[in-house]
C-alpha cells in the first residue's frame, strides 16, 4: 500500500517541491505559538519582562515549575486532592464512555430493530449541540438528580458523548457480517460476540474514543455543576493560579505547557489509530 | 363508514401493535445493549433540548416557577434587544469567515499533506492539529496581541516603524473581532481536518489509475473528479463539525476579548446566552437564545448538505 502510494500518477516534482514549501511555511506558523509557550515556560523572570520582548529563552530555568509546585503545596485544598479528582473524572469518564458507546454502537451498526434509524439520526443531529446551548436545562436535570457538587455530574454525561458514539458506530459498520454470523452458528451469544470478536477488531476506534474523551475531561474545570473547592479538578486549580495576573506570567506559561503537553503527547502516540478511525467518519 | 370496516381497521391496528411489541421483544438483546447509552443520552441531551424549547416560551428566573408568556421572549429577542442583533451580526461574520475558511483550508491542507510519504504526513498532521487539542495554549496569543509596547506584535511593528504607538488590539472595537477570528482560525484544524486526512488515505488507488486512462491530466482534475466525490461522506461530517465550531465559539472569545467585551464588539450569540443564563438568571430568555441558535445551525447544516451533493458533477 505504502509502496504504490509513492508512485502517484499525474505528479510533477516541481509541484511536490512547491507543496512542501507551502506546507512547511504553514506548519511553522502553526507551531510558532506552541514553541513560544515552551520558551516562555522556561524563561527566568527577568527575561519574561524584557524590553523589547524576546521570543526565545536565553538562560532556561525550571523556576516557573518550581514556583508552580510551591503555590500548589500552599493552597488550602491539598494539590493531591485536585489531582485525585481529575484522575477519577478522566478514568471513570473514559472507561464508561468506551464501554457504553461501544455497546450501543454495536447494535446500532450490526442489528436491525425498531427505532434504530431514528436513534441514529438523533445522535448525528446532536453532533451539532454545543454544551453551552443546553447548559441551563442541564443544570435543572442535575439538581433534580441531586448531582450538583458531585463528580457524577461531570463523569456520567461524558459517557454519552455523541461524537464518540458516532465514530464508533461508523467504524463498526465495516466489520464483515459474515464474521458475526459464523460466531452465532458456533453458538456464541451476543455478549461473547461483542467482547471477544467485535471489541478486539475495533481497537483503533476505542483508542480514538479514549483520546477524545480524555481531551474533553482533562480540560474540564468542573465549573458548571461543582462548586465545592475540594471537589474541583486539577485544571481548575491550575487556572486559578495562572489567572492571578502579570506577576504569575511565568507560572501561567508553565501551566499552559503542562495542560497542552498531555493531550498532544497522547495524540502523537496514537495518531495512526485515530486517523484509521476517522476514515470511516463519513455521513451519507 | 360501515361497522365492519371499522372493526376490521381496529383489528388491523391492534394486530400491528401486537406485531410491533413482538418485534421489540424479539430484539430485547439489542435494546439491552443500547439502553445504558440511550438512557444517558436522552437524560443529558434530548431532555435538556426539549426543556430548553419549552422554557423559551416562559419567564423563568429559577426562584419562581416558570410563567408562560407565549412568544414574548422571541418578540423581545428580535425586536427589542439591540445587543442580540450585534451578537447575531458578530456570530454571522465570525461563522461566515471561520467556517468556510477553516473548512476549505482543512481540506486543502489535508489534500496537500496526503501527497507525501507517511512519515512526512504524520509530522505535518501533528503540527496543524496540535493547536486544536492544546487546551488553553491560545492564551499565548494574548501575550502576542498584548496592548502595551511589551506585546510582541506591537513591539515588532514599532521596531519596523510601521506604527509609532501601540495598538490596543484587544480593547479597540475595530480590532477585537479580527484578532478573535485570527486566533480561531489558528486553532480550527480539528476533527474535520483529521477526517479529511483519513478520508483521503482510504480512497481506492485504482480509481486514480482508471481516471488517468479516462483522460484525467493533472492533480487538480483528479481532485475535482475523483478525490472529492469519493470522500463526500467525510465532507459532510467535516461540515457539521465546522458549523458547530464556528457558530458556538465562546471560550476563546471570552478569554481574548473579555466579558463583556468593549462596546460588545466581540459579543456572539453564545456569549449573549451565557450573559442571560449565568449572569442575569433570565433562564426563559436564555433558553430562547439557545433555541434560535440550535435551529439556525440545523438550517445551516441542511444548506451545506444540499451544496455538497453537487460536488464533482
Size (chain A), residues: 284
What pLDDT score was predicted for residue B3? 62
Distance of alpha carbon B6 from alpha carbon A172, whole angstroms: 46
In a domain, A283, yes or no: no
Query: Which pLDDT band holds residue A3 (cuts at 50, 70, 90)?
Result: very low
Query: In terms of domains, do A32 and A130 share one?
Result: no
What pLDDT score was predicted for residue A46? 83
Query: Which pLDDT band holds residue A2 (cuts at 50, 70, 90)?
Result: very low
Query: In terms of domains, do A100 and A234 share one?
Result: yes
The shortest C-alpha distance from B135 to chain A (Å) reads: 5
What pLDDT score was predicted for residue B10? 66
In a domain, A48, yes or no: yes
As a whole number, mean pLDDT of residues A153-181 equals 90
Query: In terms of domains, do A248 and A211 share one?
Result: yes
Chain A residues in contact with B301 (beta carbon < 8 A): 128
Tell which of A37, A61, A85 closes a domain: A61
CB atoms within 10 A of CB A153: 23
Q: In this structure, are residues A208 and A277 in contact, taking their beta carbons and an 8 Å threshold?
A: yes
Q: What is the pLDDT of residues B160-217, one digit of tens each?
A: 878 777 888 888 888 888 888 998 888 888 888 988 888 888 788 888 888 888 888 7
Query: In terms of domains, do A25 and A155 share one?
Result: no
The minimal CB distance from A108 to the residues B34, B48, B116 is found for B34
In a domain, A165, yes or no: yes
Q: Which residues, including other chains, have CB under 8 Å from residue B203's CB and lie 6 or more apart?
A: B226, B227, B230, B231
Q: Give how many domains chain A has, as a whole number.
A: 2
Cα dist from B182 to A172, B95, B188, B268, whole Å? 38, 12, 10, 16
Q: Give residue B161's region: left, alpha or beta (phi > 0; psi -120 to 50).
A: left
Query: In terms of domains, do A108 and A150 share one?
Result: yes
DSSP letter for each residue of chain B: --HHHHHHHHHHHHHHHHHHHHHHHHTHHHHHHHHHHHHHHIIIIIHHHHHHHHHTTEE--SSSPPEE-TTHHHHIIIII-HHHHHHHHHHHHHHHHHHHHHHHHHHHHHHHHTTS-HHHHHHHHHHHHHHHHSGGGGGHHHHHT-SSTTSHHHHHHHHTTS-SS---TTTSHHHHHHHHHHHHHHT--SHHHHHHHHHHHTS-HHHHHHHHHTT--SHHHHIIIIIHHHTHHHHHHHHHHHHHHHHS--HHHHHHH-SSPGGGTT--HHHHHHIIIIIS--HHHHHHHHHHHHHHHHHHHHHHHHHHTTTT-
A30 touches chain B (CB under 8 A): yes
Q: Which residue has the higher pLDDT, B292 or A128?
A: B292
- Give residue A49's domain range: 2-61
Query: Which pLDDT band holds residue A104 (cuts at 50, 70, 90)?
Result: very high
**Residue A107 C-alpha from the chain's centroid:** 25
Interface touch B45/A160, C-beta < 8 Å: yes
Q: Tell me how many degrees the CA angle B285-B287-B289 measures, rounded to the nearest 5.
A: 75
Report the residue of chain B nearest A18, measured CA to CA.
B112
Report whether pLDDT(A92) > 80. Answer: yes
Report the residue of chain B nearest A101, measured CA to CA.
B37
Query: In terms of domains, do A15 and A73 share one?
Result: no
Output Rg (C-alpha) for chain A, integer angstroms: 24
Query: In terms of domains, do A187 and A211 share one?
Result: yes
| DSSP 8-state secondary structure symbol assigned to residue A223 | T
What pLDDT score was predicted for residue A5? 45
Helix B82-113 × helix B173-186 angle, to 10°:
30
Interface touch A30/B24, C-beta < 8 Å: no
Q: In this structure, are residues A140 and B51 in contact, taking their beta carbons and an 8 Å threshold?
A: yes
What pLDDT score was predicted for residue B7? 66
Cell numbers 469567515 correspond to B97
In a domain, A190, yes or no: yes
Query: In terms of domains, do A45 and A76 share one?
Result: no
Query: In terms of domains, do A97 and A234 share one?
Result: yes
Query: In terms of domains, do A192 and A110 share one?
Result: yes
Distance of alpha carbon A20 from alpha carbon A23, whole angstroms: 5
What pLDDT score was predicted for residue A93? 94
What pLDDT score was predicted for residue A1? 37
Residues 56-85 of A with CB under 8 A from B: none
Cα dist from B247 to A220, A246, A254, A264, B192, whole Å? 21, 32, 31, 25, 15
In a domain, A284, yes or no: no
What pLDDT score was predicted for residue A4? 42
A111 HSE (CA, 13 A, CB side):
26
| DSSP 8-state secondary structure symbol assigned to residue A198 | I
As a whole number, mean pLDDT of residues A67-88 equals 84
For chain B, give every domain's residue range.
3-55, 74-308
Distance of alpha carbon B12 from alpha carbon B15, whole angstroms: 5
Backbone angles phi, psi at B59, to 5 degrees: -100, 125
The answer, yes or no, to whether ipTM is higher than 0.95 is no
Three cell numbers, residue B225: 473528479
Tell which of A27, A42, A61 closes a domain: A61
The shortest C-alpha distance from B7 to chain A (Å) reads: 27
Query: In terms of domains, do A29 and A73 share one?
Result: no
Q: What is the pLDDT of residues A262-273, one digit of tens each?
A: 889 988 888 888
Distance of alpha carbon B101 from alpha carbon B187, whole angstroms: 12
In a domain, A183, yes or no: yes
A188 HSE (CA, 13 A, CB side):
16
Residues 269-288 of B with CB under 8 A from A: 270, 273-274, 277-278, 283, 286-287
Chain B residues in contact with A16 (beta carbon < 8 A): 115-116
Distance of alpha carbon A174 from alpha carbon B136, whole angstroms: 36
As a whole number, mean pLDDT of residues A141-158 equals 90
The partner residues of B67 in beta bridges, in order of sequence, read B59
Interface touch A103/B41, C-beta < 8 Å: no
Q: What is the pLDDT of residues A190-217, one digit of tens each?
A: 899 999 999 998 888 888 888 888 888 8
Tell which of A16, A40, A61 closes a domain: A61
Stated pTM of the model: 0.84
Backbone angles phi, psi at B84, to 5 degrees: -60, -40
Query: In terms of domains, do A20 and A154 share one?
Result: no
The dihedral over CA atoms of B69, B70, B75, B76, expressed in degrees to the nearest 10, equals: 20
**Which CATH code, of 3.40.50.410, 1.10.3720.10, 3.60.40.10, 1.20.1260.10, is assigned to B74-308?**
1.10.3720.10
State which residues of chain B have pLDDT below 70: 1-13, 312-313
CATH number of the structural domain spanning residue A99: 1.10.3720.10
Amino acid at each position: 500500500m505504502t509502496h504504490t502510494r509513492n508512485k502517484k500518477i499525474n505528479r510533477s516534482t516541481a509541484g511536490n517541491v512547491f507543496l512542501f514549501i507551502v506546507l512547511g511555511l504553514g506548519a511553522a506558523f502553526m507551531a510558532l505559538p506552541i514553541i513560544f509557550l515552551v520558551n516562555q515556560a522556561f524563561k527566568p523572570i527577568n527575561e519574561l519582562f524584557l524590553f523589547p520582548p524576546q521570543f526565545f529563552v536565553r538562560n532556561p530555568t525550571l523556576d516557573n515549575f518550581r514556583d508552580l509546585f510551591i503555590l500548589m503545596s500552599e493552597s488550602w485544598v491539598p494539590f493531591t486532592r485536585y489531582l485525585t479528582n481529575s484522575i477519577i473524572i478522566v478514568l471513570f469518564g473514559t472507561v464508561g464512555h468506551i464501554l457504553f458507546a461501544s455497546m450501543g454502537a454495536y447494535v446500532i451498526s450490526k442489528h436491525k430493530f425498531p427505532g434504530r434509524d431514528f436513534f441514529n439520526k438523533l445522535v448525528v443531529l446532536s453532533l451539532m449541540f454545543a454544551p453551552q446551548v443546553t447548559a441551563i436545562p442541564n443544570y435543572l436535570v442535575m439538581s433534580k438528580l441531586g448531582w450538583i457538587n458531585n463528580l457524577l455530574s461531570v463523569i456520567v454525561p461524558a459517557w454519552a458523548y455523541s461524537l464518540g458514539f458516532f465514530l464508533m458506530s461508523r467504524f463498526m459498520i465495516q466489520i464483515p457480517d459474515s464474521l458475526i454470523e459464523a460466531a452465532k452458528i458456533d453458538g456464541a451469544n451476543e455478549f461473547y460476540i461483542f467482547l471477544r470478536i467485535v471489541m478486539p477488531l475495533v481497537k483503533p476506534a476505542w483508542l480514538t474514543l479514549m483520546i477524545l474523551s480524555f481531551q474533553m475531561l482533562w480540560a474540564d474545570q468542573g465549573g458548571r455543576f461543582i462548586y465545592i473547592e475540594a471537589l474541583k479538578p486539577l485544571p481548575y486549580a491550575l487556572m486559578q493560579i495562572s489567572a492571578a495576573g502579570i506577576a504569575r506570567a511565568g507560572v501561567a506559561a508553565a501551566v499552559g505547557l503542562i495542560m497542552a503537553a498531555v493531550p498532544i503527547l497522547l495524540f502523537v502516540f496514537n495518531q495512526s489509530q485515530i486517523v484509521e478511525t476517522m476514515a470511516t467518519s463519513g455521513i451519507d | 363508514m360501515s361497522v365492519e370496516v371499522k372493526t376490521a381497521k381496529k383489528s388491523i391496528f391492534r394486530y400491528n401493535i401486537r406485531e410491533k411489541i413482538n418485534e421489540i421483544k424479539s430484539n430485547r438483546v439489542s435494546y439491552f445493549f443500547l439502553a445504558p447509552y440511550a438512557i444517558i443520552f436522552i437524560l443529558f441531551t434530548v431532555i435538556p433540548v426539549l426543556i430548553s424549547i419549552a422554557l423559551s416560551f416562559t419567564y423563568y428566573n429559577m426562584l419562581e416557577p416558570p410563567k408562560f408568556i407565549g412568544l414574548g421572549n422571541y418578540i423581545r429577542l428580535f425586536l427589542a434587544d439591540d445587543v442580540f442583533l450585534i451578537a447575531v451580526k458578530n456570530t454571522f461574520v465570525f461563522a461566515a469567515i471561520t467556517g468556510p475558511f477553516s473548512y476549505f483550508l482543512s481540506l486543502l491542507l489535508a489534500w496537500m499533506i496526503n501527497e507525501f510519504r507517511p512519515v512526512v504526513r504524520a509530522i505535518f498532521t501533528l503540527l496543524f492539529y496540535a493547536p486544536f487539542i492544546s487546551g488553553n495554549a491560545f492564551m499565548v496569543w494574548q501575550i502576542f496581541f498584548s496592548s502595551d509596547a511589551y506585546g510582541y506584535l506591537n513591539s515588532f511593528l514599532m521596531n519596523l516603524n510601521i506604527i509609532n504607538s501601540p495598538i490596543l488590539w484587544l480593547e479597540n472595537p475595530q480590532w477585537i473581532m479580527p484578532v478573535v477570528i485570527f486566533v480561531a482560525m489558528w486553532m480550527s484544524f480539528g476533527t474535520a481536518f483529521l477526517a479529511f486526512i483519513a478520508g483521503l488515505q482510504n480512497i481506492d488507488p485504482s480509481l486514480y489509475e482508471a481516471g488517468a486512462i479516462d483522460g484525467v491530466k493533472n492533480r487538480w482534475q483528479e481532485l475535482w473528479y475523483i478525490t472529492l466525490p469519493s470522500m463526500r461522506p467525510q465532507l459532510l461530517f467535516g461540515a457539521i463539525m465546522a458549523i458547530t465550531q464556528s457558530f458556538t465559539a465562546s471560550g476563546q472569545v471570552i478569554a481574548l476579548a473579555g466579558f463583556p467585551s468593549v462596546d460588545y464588539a466581540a459579543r456572539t450569540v453564545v456569549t449573549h446566552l451565557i450573559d442571560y443564563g449565568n449572569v442575569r438568571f433570565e433562564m426563559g430568555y436564555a433558553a430562547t437564545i439557545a433555541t434560535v441558535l440550535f435551529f439556525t445551525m440545523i438550517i445551516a447544516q441542511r444548506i451545506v448538505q444540499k451544496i455538497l451533493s453537487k460536488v464533482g458533477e
